[in-house]
Structure 1
Amino acid sequence: MSEMRAALYDSYGPPEVLYEGSVPKPVADPGEVVVRVHAASVNGGELAGRAGKVRLVTEIVGRGFPKRTGMDFAGEIADPGSPDSGLAVGDRVWGLLPRSRMFGSAAEFVAVPPHRLALAPSGLDLVQAAALPAVGTTAITALRDKARVTAGDRLLVRGASGGVGSVAVQLGKVYGAHVTALAGGRNLDFVRSLGADDAFDYATTSAADLGPFDVVLDTVGTQLRTYRRLLAPEGRMVAIAFDARNPAASVSYLLASTVFGSRRVRFFSGNPTRRLFAELTRLTESGAVRPVVDTVYPLADIAAAHRALEQGGSRGKHVIQIL
């Protein structure tokens, strides 16, 4: 069996446990296609997996050591599998690994079911495109499906300069909302350039001075109680992150918030299908959403990419270029 390059780690730990190694090249099982990966992005779930913070999941669902990293990808079809896939060799695609495989897109090839990908936007470089699959589908699900943002809504995006936040600011404007962005002081002009109507430094702005809002999108995971209080009557809050320092408290509050009925805190685990990826492609091709890339790293520098995301303050995504 031929080998391929992939990002690996032999034990849980800090970013330095990551390295570029070799693993068997995947072969498409029935109902799968093989994608030659041009690039993948770094997502928060991978940091938690590598650090051993979600061992219950990675030990049951994932592989044994050496473990892999990477969730989303952009590339070209290398093996279209069954004719029913509707794909051909060379088709440019983007997508996300299935939950059953969890991590492993930071590699030269991946095998995935065709419903976990769609044709990538025409005219967009695949390295740039790799910044969008995970965060773009998450933002669409959060704002369109969970919060049901409509024209005229007052939307607060917390963590607006990051991966999901930078897309959510753009989507909020697409859906006709008045967008208020919370970000670091050095990123205020940046989030305004994405379309934010108002932008505030989270370090110097008290939550009590904000609101009310019809929708709050929280990508940070801390102070959920404080920011839920900013909701107007019938307001909706969606959280996509746990407090890394105390995840149990976050889960407890999410469950307890159900007593607030429609004003509860909604949380979800993204599981996008081809239709959702196709919608992201449409939004990108129309110019409504654009990828935001902070830094591009070669596969050999996977540890540096993880470290950069952990340090915070990113503008958009850190991308791993493989091809």
Structure 2
Amino acid sequence: MTAWVAPRYGGGEVLRTEIVPRPEPGERDVVVCVHAASLCSGDLHLLSGTPYLLRLGFGLRRPKNRMIGQNLAGEVVAVGAEVSEFQVGDRVFGEVPSGAFAEFVRADVKWFALVPDGLDMETAAAMPDSGMTALQGLRDIGKLAPGHRVLVNGASGGVGTFAVQIAKALGAHVTAVCSTRHLDMVREIGADTVIDYTTTDFAARGETYDIIFDLAGNRKLRDHRRALTPEGVFISSAGAPGGNWFGPIRWLGSVLLTNLFTSQTLKPLLMRPATADLQYLAELATTGSLRPVIQRHLPLSEAAAAISLFAEGHASGKTLLTASPVR
């Protein structure tokens, strides 16, 4: 089969396609024919090997696993001997450790959920990483309840567009912070109030929020706390820039340390893939409460170019890659 591989650390320029063996399932694995895939920030970190601390686990000088890509949707073409959750022909989606940017991918069944009838593969492929990050931040850490006032900082990106819609689906009043060119899009997906950060400082408006979900990493912690209610929850899924060696570790440390000395709840978010969360997202999508925002729609054959564009930042939703299924 054909797969995108990374022989060394870098950006989109280091990627190349290779003919590699088609995978066979282990006892608890499924093999999926990839119909669509999407990019996430984790792809960039694993491809570039930054922050450098990542390389202790993923390869010091070059990636231990050259296969890239984590988010996909496709059709099951083979199942392991102990797999009862899926059968050949099922449509599935999920986030796998690696290898999604290929004609076929093999992974444990725990990484997948069924694509329900009425949901297309492209929509399903766009949801796993960003959707689960938004859901776990708002529902699990934020304990969002109907009537809560939520501010999403970085509302136009992949996670941000999901966060706005999920917060609305859970009954919140949503304030979205983004740049001028994204204002209309963020309104269209349901934000009640939209703030243009190029002209307005949300922390200086005098408004306070029950939950602040920070996806931009562009403000000091004290700014977020000033805009948070005394018992409010601050969720960090970005972190302030910290250089190539340690990345956001210093920022995350300051969040955890400050949390010990305040009535507010200040927590970083590390998303953990879960089949139940994939199923929840699929239900929201089939009922019309959730619609992934797609910024770029490219063929899988242009994955290297897509990653280079994605690395430039200023995303407006997701980058989607579609494949021509192979039998």
What TM-score results when the alignment is normalised by the length of structure 1? 0.91
User: 2:312 corresponds to which letter in structure 1?
Assistant: Q
User: 2:70 corresponds to which letter in structure 1?
Assistant: M
User: 1:9 corresponds to which letter in structure 2?
Assistant: A
User: 1:47 corresponds to which letter in structure 2?
Assistant: L
Rounded to whole Å, the distance in 1 between the matches of 2:116 and 2:176 is 27
1:173 matched to which residue of 2?
Answer: 168
**Closer, same or farther: CA 316–129 of 1 in aligned 2, 3 Å:** same
Rounded to whole Å, the distance in 1 between the matches of 2:220 and 2:28 is 41
Rounded to whole Å, the distance in 2 between the matches of 1:128 and 1:153 is 28
Q: Secondary structure at the match of 1:241?
A: coil
5+ residue gaps, structure 1: none
Shift of 1:108: 1.3
2:188 matched to which residue of 1?
Answer: 193
Q: Secondary structure at the match of 2:98?
A: coil
**Closer, same or farther: CA 107–262 of 1 in aligned 2, 3 Å:** farther
Q: Secondary structure at the match of 1:85?
A: coil
Shift of 1:48: 1.7
1:20 to 17, 31, 40: 17
User: 2:292 corresponds to which letter in structure 1?
Assistant: P
Q: Are the counterparts in 2 of residues 28 and 34 from structure 1 also a CA contact under 8 Å?
A: yes
1:61-98 CA-to-partner distances (Å, cap 9, x unmatched) read 4684672221111111111223643211111110111x
1:208 matched to which residue of 2?
Answer: 204
Shift of 1:224: 4.3
Q: Which moved more, 1:285-294 or 1:78-87?
A: 78-87
Rounded to whole Å, the distance in 2 between the matches of 1:60 and 1:218 is 27
Q: Secondary structure at the match of 1:123?
A: coil
Identity across matched positions, percent: 38
Q: Secondary structure at the match of 2:32?
A: strand
Q: Are the counterparts in 2 of residues 114 and 274 from structure 1 also a CA contact under 8 Å?
A: no
Rounded to whole Å, the distance in 2 between the matches of 1:281 and 1:144 is 16
Q: Are the counterparts in 2 of residues 10 and 65 from structure 1 also a CA contact under 8 Å?
A: no
Rounded to whole Å, the distance in 2 between the matches of 1:224 and 1:40 is 34
User: 2:81 corresponds to which letter in structure 1?
Assistant: S
**Closer, same or farther: CA 66–80 of 1 in aligned 2, 3 Å:** closer
Q: Are the counterparts in 1 of residues 132 and 273 from structure 2 also a CA contact under 8 Å?
A: yes
5+ residue gaps, structure 2: none
User: 2:280 corresponds to which letter in structure 1?
Assistant: E
Q: Are the counterparts in 2 of residues 39 and 319 from structure 1 also a CA contact under 8 Å?
A: yes
2:45 to 41, 48, 52: 48
1:206-265 CA-to-partner distances (Å, cap 9, x unmatched) read 131253010001111232402232110110011112334442431232232222455232
Matches within 5 A, 1:69-88: 69-82=68-81, 84-88=83-87
**Closer, same or farther: CA 133–267 of 1 in aligned 2, 3 Å:** same
Q: Are the counterparts in 1 of residues 215 and 238 from structure 2 also a CA contact under 8 Å?
A: yes
User: 1:196 corresponds to which letter in structure 2?
Assistant: A
Rounded to whole Å, the distance in 2 between the matches of 1:8 and 1:58 is 17
Rounded to whole Å, the distance in 1 between the matches of 2:54 and 2:27 is 25
User: 1:141 corresponds to which letter in structure 2?
Assistant: Q
Q: Are the counterparts in 2 of residues 19 and 300 from structure 1 also a CA contact under 8 Å?
A: no
1:120 to 115, 120, 139: 115
Matches within 5 A, 1:1-323: 4-61=1-58, 64=63, 67-82=66-81, 84-97=83-96, 102-206=97-201, 207-209=203-205, 211-225=207-221, 226-246=223-243, 247-323=248-324
Rounded to whole Å, the distance in 2 between the matches of 1:8 and 1:210 is 50
Rounded to whole Å, the distance in 2 between the matches of 1:296 and 1:280 is 21
User: 2:120 corresponds to which letter in structure 1?
Assistant: D
User: 2:167 corresponds to which letter in structure 1?
Assistant: G
**Closer, same or farther: CA 68–262 of 1 in aligned 2, 3 Å:** farther
